Chain A
Amino acid sequence: MSGEPRASRRIIAPGYTFGTVTDQIASVMLTRRTPIFWYICFGVGFALLLVFLWSVAMLLAKGVGIWGIRTPVMWGFAITNFVWWIGIGHAGTLISAILLLLNQSWRNSINRFAEAMTLFAVACAGMFPLLHLGRPWLFYWLFPYPNTMSVQPNFRSPLVWDVFAVSTYATVSLLFWYVGLMPDLATLRDRTENRFARGAYGILAMGWRGSARHWSVYETASLLLAGLATPLVLSVHTVVSFDFTIAIVPGWHSTFFPPYFVAGAIYSGFAMVLALAIPLRAVYGLEGLITARHLDNSAKIMLATGLIVGYAYMLETFTAWYSGEVYEQSALWNRMTGPYAVCYWALIFCNILAPQALWFKRIRSSPALLFVSSIVVLVGMWLERYVIIVSSLAQDFLPSSWSVFQATRWDWGTYLGTIGLFLFLFFVFIRLLPMISIFEVRTLLPQAKVEEEAEG
């Protein structure tokens, strides 16, 4: 975490001191009146969370039949949403781990809430495979444990790999996020005037006191965690894509799925980062910390990963054609012209055509337009997962078993419900914990550099 080399491209606005950075970020939790915006978002999130609980209650009472999943489309919305959410989570880990290893210090002011986003997106993602189990209360059967039935999971199945990958990802994301929070929790402990808050932050901070010995171990720990999280994040979406590629369903069975899925994950994740950062910085007046440069960089990453995704679409089409395989070809042809043609062309528009606008600096420098384009990408990426899963299953080898998937209101209720769960958790986080890493932003200030004197 070295200082910024080029002063011309400042990461944060000039004029900040250690004190003002601390006070500005801490004031969101400690002193400022909670803005109306927070109440609205929290309220919407809470209302949708209730929808989620209602949908889950209905599901537990009546079974997965209340969803639109019918043979042959047994994956439907549940797995679409799972892949979508977990992909969104990936940007948080990319920002916190990969950009840390690459010494991209601009990440310091967006990594905290991006990591929180990861955590909550993984929580939402995890809901779907669990609810899709049919008997979610037996979820522990997914893990190998000594049992009287003397059966064990099949370790040769990518679905079991997924259990390990996603639960590891959730655990490591939580640890990484918590470790990053410790020094800031100590700051809040020292700043708050509320006795209860001081106790709560104090317990969570574990007695952190900013000792140089601790910092040196701490820095090693964050580097190591970043080094571990980097291969992990790439592996998670790779394993998710194995769920598809290892099956022989036409439209799924291809070797380029892992990189294609990882790029798509980061693409949608950065869209979510922008969709969250743009309103937050405006409402909380954090434009000096999450600057135009952050938005610009995120938009560029979005554009780059979007181009990779576009390349993957082309490759998918080319491979189907070049393979000479009739099932592969008709799967793709059905995707483009069949019952899901509208979704397919909508995703091409959202993921490939619309983001080309990000080539223009004028669009990248307008927060409102960036917000719109990130929402377009989020919708596009959801459609992509939907089309991959549903259209491939709906029309596979035997035309006699073809059937079109129809989402029910419970499908929509569960999906919108997890958006509610996400918003609820995220806005609770905004209210209680610093959304920007205070100590890492301090290191970005020019004063943080130690001026070396003549003695070397």
Chain B
Amino acid sequence: MIKPVYGVIAEFESPTALVNAARAAREKGFRKLDAYSPFPIEELTEALHLHKNKLPLIVLVGGIVGGLTGYLLQYYVTVIQFPINVAGRPLHSWPMYIVIAFEMTILFAAISAVLGMLALCGLPMPYHPVFNVPRFAFASRNRFFLCIVATDPLFDREETCDFLQTLGPREVSEVAP
């Protein structure tokens, strides 16, 4: 009987080995792969051809919405809802709105940065197959992992394992789904 697998994972001892392995796997034609490391590695982003993410756009929109909210809130309150006539001075006293509009811009932008980051990463995610690999606990300490997912068109249980073995890993194992 053949149990389905999520993919195969190879463990490496250094960031250099992981980046080289990721490059090799890309060259070989694998596309559905992910790497796991205990700290961000710039070269890895390149090696895996990770496209620019949409986070800056999300933050920009959040900031604009926040700024408008702050400004319009003050406009509504001071001009429409609760106008105070102080010796005939204009109700729409925009220079006085700047500070709160600015603070609201930052607040909304920061909240959208965090929520956007979580959304783009798909977090919180309580379960993920890679955690089934016992050695994966070291991905948050000092080990580097490259995982080729079974949904990749080139994926073949044996062959992919053998391929990963050629990249000089410490260990290759299958990932239960």
| Interface size range of chain A in the complex | 35 or more
Closest chain A CB from B24 CB (angstroms) = 11
Asked if A217 meets B110 with Cβ closer than 8 Å, knowing A152-B77, A442-B38, the reply is no
Closest chain B CB from A259 CB (angstroms) = 16
Evaluate contact between A439 and B38: CB separation under 8 angstroms: yes
Tell me the residues in window 205-247 of chain A with beta carbons closer than 8 Å to chain B beta carbons: 206-221, 224-225, 228-229, 231-232, 235, 239, 242
Asked if A213 meets B121 with Cβ closer than 8 Å, knowing A155-B74, A228-B106, A442-B38, the reply is yes
Closest chain A CB from B144 CB (angstroms) = 9
- Measured CA separation A95–B175 after assembly (Å): 41
Residues of B within 8 A of A443 (CB): 39-40
Asked if A450 meets B34 with Cβ closer than 8 Å, knowing A206-B118, A217-B117, the reply is no
Evaluate contact between B48 and A212: CB separation under 8 angstroms: yes
Majority secondary structure of chain B interface residues (helix, strand, loop or mixed): helix
- Measured CA separation A232–B114 after assembly (Å): 16
B151 lies within 8 A of chain A by Cβ: no
Residues of B within 8 A of A442 (CB): 38-39
Asked if A212 meets B34 with Cβ closer than 8 Å, knowing A217-B117, A235-B102, the reply is yes
B5 lies within 8 A of chain A by Cβ: no
Contact of A239 among B99, B109, B120, B130 (CB under 8 A): B99
Q: Which of B51-59, B155-163, B164-172 contacts A (4 or more CB under 8 A)?
A: B51-59
Interface string of B23-52 (1 = CB under 8 A from A): 000000000001111111111110010100
- Measured CA separation A452–B40 after assembly (Å): 17
Contact of B141 among A187, A217, A452 (CB under 8 A): A187
Evaluate contact between B121 and A217: CB separation under 8 angstroms: yes
- Measured CA separation A158–B116 after assembly (Å): 32
- Measured CA separation A22–B138 after assembly (Å): 11
| Interface size range of chain B in the complex | 35 or more
Evaluate contact between B110 and A208: CB separation under 8 angstroms: no
Evaluate contact between B55 and A440: CB separation under 8 angstroms: no
Residues of A within 8 A of B116 (CB): 221
A283 lies within 8 A of chain B by Cβ: no
Closest chain A CB from B107 CB (angstroms) = 4
Evaluate contact between B117 and A221: CB separation under 8 angstroms: yes
- Measured CA separation A453–B20 after assembly (Å): 9
Q: Which of A72-80, A165-173, A324-332 contacts B (4 or more CB under 8 A)?
A: A165-173
Asked if A152 meets B82 with Cβ closer than 8 Å, knowing A171-B110, A207-B124, A217-B55, the reply is yes
Considering only CB atoms, which chain A residue lies closest to B55 in the complex? A220
| A209, A439, A443, A448 interface centre (most CB from chain B within 10 Å) | A209
In the A-B complex, the 4 residue pairs with the closest CB atoms? A18-B142, A206-B124, A221-B117, A207-B125
21 A-B pairs with CB atoms under 8 Å apart are A1-B40, A2-B42, A17-B142, A18-B142, A153-B77, A155-B97, A158-B99, A164-B104, A172-B106, A209-B136, A212-B35, A212-B44, A212-B50, A213-B34, A216-B45, A221-B55, A228-B113, A235-B99, A235-B102, A439-B38, A452-B43
Known: A175-B114, A220-B53. 7 other contacts (CB 8 A): A168-B106, A168-B107, A190-B139, A217-B120, A221-B116, A231-B106, A450-B42
